[in-house]
Chain A
Amino acid sequence: MNRNPLTVSVNGAEHVLSVPGDRRLLDLLRDELGLMGVREGCGVGACGTCTVLLDGVPVNACLTLAVTTRGRSVTTIEGLARDGELHPVQQAFLEERGFQCGFCTPGMILTAVGLLRENPSPTVEEVTDYLGGNLCRCAGYPDMIRAVLRGAERCREAGGRPSATPEGPEAARLRAMGKGEEG
């Protein structure tokens, strides 16, 4: 298959790449950029494990073609901590033990960051709604709900937005299409 030029910002660094049109964002991030925190759970967009932020909005990397990220900004779990300091949501997941086996954790944390970008003070129902597409088979869900609420609190205390990723031009459109199902 023909390769396509692709310039994309991943975790704040610009990458100039050449990718086949059918390359999934998931494979690009893992195989070419070595970002192994992006994990595949089902490959059909039904488990949320591979969630990354595209212009700040959660998307399933297994359903997103790499070429569609041209000129956009991708954040993976590796890009959340800044200067060795955990993102407030990561810190909250750590404190509330919102993880067990850890396989779904990156997708869960990134989806939570996406939620807090849209809604800095979510209710429990808004948390479970937004994160309802992220499966955790250890069922550490109650800890996760607490972690997201605590993360929201920490983000508000910090007075900043939950992610440093710039609000991209696509973000509003994607949000309008509905959370996490685009791509």
Chain B
Amino acid sequence: MADGRKQEFAVVGKSVPRVDGPPKVTGTPIYTVDMERPGMLHAAILRSTVPHGRIRRVDKSRAEQAEGVVLVVTGEDLKTMPGIDPYFGPAFRDQAILAIDKVRYIGDPIAAVVATRRELAYEALDLIDVEYEELPPVLDPVEAARPGSPLVHEQLRPAKAFADLAEIEPGKATNVCYHFKLRRGDVEQGFAQSAHVFEDWYYSPPAQHMMMEPHAALAWVDSDGVLTVITGSQSPSYVKGSLGAIFGLPQNKVRVMVPLVGGAYGGKLYDKLEPLASLLTFMARRPVKIQLTREEVFITITKHGVVSHVRTGVSQDGKILARKVEVYWDTGAYADIAPRVVHKSGYTSAGAYRVPNIWIDSYCVYTNKPPAGAFRGFGVPQVVWALESQMDMIAEKLGRDPLQFRLENVLLEGDLFATGTPVHSAGLKESLEAVAREIKWEPGVRKAVKPGTKSGVARAKGVACGIKAVITPSISGAIVVMNNDASVNVLTSTVEMGQGSDTALSQIAAEELGVRLQDVRVMHPDTAVTPYDTITAGSRSTYHMGNAIRLAAQEVKRQLFETASDRLEVDPDQLVARDGRIFVAEAPTRGLPIPEVFQARFGARGATLQGQAVFKTYAAPMDHETGQSEKVTEYWFPGATAAEVEVDLETGKVRVVKLVEACDVGRAINPHHCEQQIIGSALISLGQTLFEQMILENGELLNPTLLDYKVLTLKDVPESAVPIVIEVPHKDGPFGAKGVGETGTLSVSAAIGNAVYRATGVRVKELPITPEKVLRGLRAGQ
């Protein structure tokens, strides 16, 4: 089916080479960390050494005298600066550029030193004396949510920065900064009717994005008073707005530029270093660059640690009758985008199945720990870990094959999601069936420990699936400029951070305009010229920016057809654009090369045609008490994982032998890219399943370097790692496409956990699945 239709396209649907390939293999791209500016100064940040405390006094006098130091600024200085509102944040304006009065986590920025050289700025940090009045820290999200717990924030200001967060109001005198509720059917009655009720707690630890390029920002003020910031940000449009609000600048006096980004995965969204770099350049009257050390990256933003309580009732014949889910999101000292994480992962907390009676409480909780925000998968992997682990426990109790049990309950086209939204283009069944085929699933309930090929090793397969919804509403703007030689510049604020957007968006523009791929150049974000885009995140760019580019390209094409129709003496609607020509569909030889159309229209060298479009999605309003909405999201991206593991029964070490990940992408604009995204995100999740975790003690991170924090390496890649592209086209997607950046993260942990259980009988409920936990389980079972 898909193949037959792909033939219609010249560029879309083909694994064309990445346009960013030649520079990347020759090392020539310039990232933010490489940027310099004449007269540039460097800044370093002094950070809190206590998890919770009042700042009694900061003495910066010695640091100000140090070699190379140009200025030192503290939160106290911010209080008296005219025209500056020092608070920022995409959900709540809860974070100050530098801590004012209070510090809320170990690592909270207190002061900044600006010096002529980076190492001098860091050296001078030691000369700043800080006196704290320590306050009792809150470190456990469940404890922190209880009334009477010490407060991390005494008051909160909603940011009103995004339409989907417009109605968020904080509670009073509580650390729960957002509470998502979903109520559907009668959950108690559902449990009463159930033959079996399952109740379990699960945990997923905080983790690090560990993007290879650290956070960096370079800011200066142009001679015409424009605050200009180069930053490796996933959200240049947001940053422009935020800097305008902080410094009271009109939006045309803030310019944010984003070059290629060396990895982000959600860790470079919203305000990071941009407010501080801007403040410092205003004060120093020279360009200022800030680049974090790896240790600082670790505590700047993290993946949420999550505690989930899942209660599920099923009938004897294997129907899920009721599900009650309680989720505590440890968002650390500042909310960042956590309320959106909690909202979006909140309404998917009942899973990818038909469940008539649902009750969800999802709590976003402040603690005195490093802030947590977006991380590839946006909270859904943590929830799926809990739900899909329990699905296998239920299947076993019912004596059912876990794959079959899922297939019988999984949401199909037109079924109602937990929110009451009908599901469209959600290839869950297709994904599950595809991974089962590839891993050669052997149906049946768990068998007794089966020795593997080696002695002392148990081997088994596990399966899981998950579904995520794209952020809705959101907005993407694009401008398509065609030059008179048929070459094209596409102006968007989509950030190329490795996902291949430059290539996929070029393919969409080339397809629509009927030009060659190499004729298209996607420009990188520069808010002085590129239009608004909500964010480059959440698997939204192909769909949203793809649609905006298509519409903008159609506007260019309309103008080309207008001129060509005069020349060719046919109606514009009889024309097509292909192979760099405009011609009559029914008589392909009657046509004009695009340069001749330009000549006819303008007769001027260097002439251009422009088209612009804004693509905006809508959600139906959601009831705040019940979480019900006729349309909660623009599209769904479902995925499934099958894993085959070998467990060493002597050491408890788990080795994933084969990992299969299938994701429904709608339509693959570039199949190879989709495979890269699918298997890349699945492998990152494999690392987070088996060893990654940020270990904190009294709020202090004990493993803040790559020497102590183990991430996935080449040596951990399974012998077989198979990405499968499922195509269930979306009716409104560009050429049917949806998104794929995160789908591979959703169900990997649960599939591995389920395989470990089937191999050993050990059910690990707290990630990561370390040898220690497995061994303890094995010993307990003996």
* A residues lining the B interface (CB < 8 Å): 36-44, 46-47, 49, 76-78, 80-81, 86, 90-91, 93-95, 97-106, 109, 127-129, 131-145
Contacts and interface: CB of A to CB of B under 8 A. Distances in A.
Contacts of B680: 100, 138-140
Contacts of A129: 715
Nearest to A109: B25
A127 B714 contact: yes
A109 B22 CA distance: 13
Interface in B490-549: 497-500
B79 interface: no
Given A76-B27, A103-B262, A139-B683, A44 B706 contact: yes
Contacts of A100: 263, 498-500, 676, 680
Given A46-B705, A132-B714, A94 B25 contact: yes
A97 B676 contact: yes
B551 interface: no
B679 A142 contact: yes
B714 A128 contact: yes
A100 to B, nearest CB: 4
B26 interface: yes
Interface string B1-26: 00000000000000001101111111
Given A43-B294, A78-B26, A97-B672, A141 B717 contact: yes
B163 interface: no
Given A46-B707, A101-B498, A134 B714 contact: yes
Contacts of B714: 127-128, 131-132, 134, 136, 141, 144-145
A141 B26 contact: no
10 contacts: A39-B31, A39-B212, A44-B705, A91-B25, A93-B25, A109-B25, A132-B715, A135-B210, A138-B498, A139-B712
A178 B343 CA distance: 50
Given A135-B706, A137-B210, A142 B717 contact: yes
Contacts of B293: 43
Contact of A103 (B31, B681, B711): B31
Given A41-B212, A101-B497, A139-B679, A78 B263 contact: no
A101 B705 contact: no
A116 B382 CA distance: 41
Contacts of B684: 137, 139
Interface of B: 17-18, 20-31, 33-34, 209-213, 260-265, 293-294, 497-500, 672, 676, 679-681, 683-684, 687, 705-707, 711-715, 717, 721
A101 B260 contact: yes
Contacts of A101: 211-213, 260-264, 497-498
Among A39, A95, A129, max chain B CB count under 10 A is at A39
Contact of B24 (A40, A105, A128): A105
Contact of A135 (B20, B264, B713, B721): B713
A3 to B, nearest CB: 16
Among B25, B211, B680, max chain A CB count under 10 A is at B25
B715 A105 contact: no
Contacts of B26: 37, 77-78, 80-81, 86, 90
A71 B264 CA distance: 39
B263 A103 contact: yes
A132 B721 CA distance: 17
B262 A39 contact: yes
Among B28, B679, B681, B714, max chain A CB count under 10 A is at B714
Nearest to A41: B212
Among B21, B264, B497, B681, max chain A CB count under 10 A is at B21
B25 A86 contact: yes
Closest 5 pairs (CB-CB, A-B):
A37-B27, A101-B498, A103-B262, A77-B27, A102-B24
A124 to B, nearest CB: 8
Contact of B715 (A46, A94, A128): A128
A134 B260 CA distance: 21
Contact of B263 (A98, A127, A137): A137
A104 B25 CA distance: 10
A99 B210 contact: no
Contact of B683 (A37, A76, A141): A141
Contact of B30 (A36, A77, A131): A36
Contacts of A95: 17
A102 B20 contact: yes
B319 to A, nearest CB: 38
Contacts of B23: 102
A148 B714 CA distance: 12
Contacts of A90: 25-26
A65 to B, nearest CB: 15
Contacts of A46: 705-707
Contact of B706 (A36, A47, A136): A47
A137 B211 CA distance: 6
Contact of A39 (B33, B499, B676): B33
Nearest to B267: A137
A29 to B, nearest CB: 11
Nearest to B21: A94
Given A47-B706, A100-B498, A105-B24, A135 B212 contact: yes
A80 B209 CA distance: 31
A46 B294 CA distance: 11
B676 A102 contact: no
Contact of B294 (A41, A86, A93, A105): A41
Among A80, A129, A135, A144, max chain B CB count under 10 A is at A135
A3 B497 CA distance: 39
B717 A105 contact: no
A106 B24 CA distance: 8
Nearest to B680: A139
Contacts of A77: 26-27
Contacts of A132: 713-715
Contacts of B22: 94
A101 B33 CA distance: 14
Contact of B498 (A102, A106, A131): A102
Contacts of A43: 293-294
B265 A142 contact: no
Nearest to B210: A137
A90 to B, nearest CB: 4
Contacts of B707: 44, 46
Given A39-B213, A94-B17, A101-B262, 12 more contacts: A77-B26, A78-B26, A90-B25, A99-B24, A99-B25, A100-B263, A101-B497, A102-B23, A131-B714, A135-B210, A136-B212, A138-B680
B716 to A, nearest CB: 9
A97 to B, nearest CB: 6
B606 to A, nearest CB: 29
B212 A47 contact: yes
A102 B496 CA distance: 11
B711 A99 contact: no
A8 B263 CA distance: 33
Contacts of A106: 27
Contacts of B263: 100-101, 103, 137-138
A44 B687 CA distance: 21
Nearest to A77: B27
Given A101-B497, A101-B498, A105-B27, A137 B721 contact: no
Among A38, A90, A136, A143, max chain B CB count under 10 A is at A136
Contacts of B679: 139, 142
A4 B213 CA distance: 31
B313 to A, nearest CB: 38
A86 B22 CA distance: 9
A80 B22 CA distance: 13
A121 B707 CA distance: 31
B299 to A, nearest CB: 15
A134 to B, nearest CB: 7
A15 B584 CA distance: 62
Nearest to B23: A102
